[in-house]
Amino acid sequence: MKAIITLFVVMSFLVMHVAAQDNHETAAANGPEITFNKTVHDYGEIFVGSDGSSMFVFTNSGNEPLILSRPRSSCGCTVPTWPRQPILPGESDSITVTYNTSRAGRINKSVIIMSNAKKNSSVALRITGNVVQKPEANLLEKNEGLVANPGKK
């Protein structure tokens, strides 16, 4: 009889534990969720004055509307554009991050995206690369002429 009571207590505990886990997982799955296709954009090498726009596509993988709040940029040279309307469950949209390429140098900037997502309410998007000066057209022509006519000066 003692063994049956012990078995009953152990089984009851296991059933309650599994039920508690199921409730926790269900609660965690409820609400909006944000999932990005990428969180880093590498421009590679781009020229001064080039288009410094990059797009980050995301999906609301939750089951309630996703609302983004004003993103925070690491500096004034990086400007984010984001959707102001709620993103319904299963829908996708994008955030555009534009870097001012008016000066040469390395790029390593971030934009923090804030939302009402249950798990990832704060996501960092990064842009990297190197802005370089455009080669001068007349310098290229001179070099091409030297290669094409190696005997001429």
**Span 101-139, pLDDT tens digits:** 999 999 999 999 999 999 989 999 999 999 999 987 655
Residue 63: helix, strand or coil by DSSP? coil
Give CATH superfamily name and number for 34-135.
Answer: Immunoglobulins (2.60.40.10)
pLDDT higher than threshold 70 for residue 11: no
Residue 2: helix, strand or coil by DSSP? helix
Predicted TM-score of the model (pTM): 0.70
Residue 56 burial by CB count (10 A; 0-12/13-18/19+): exposed, middle or buried?
A: buried
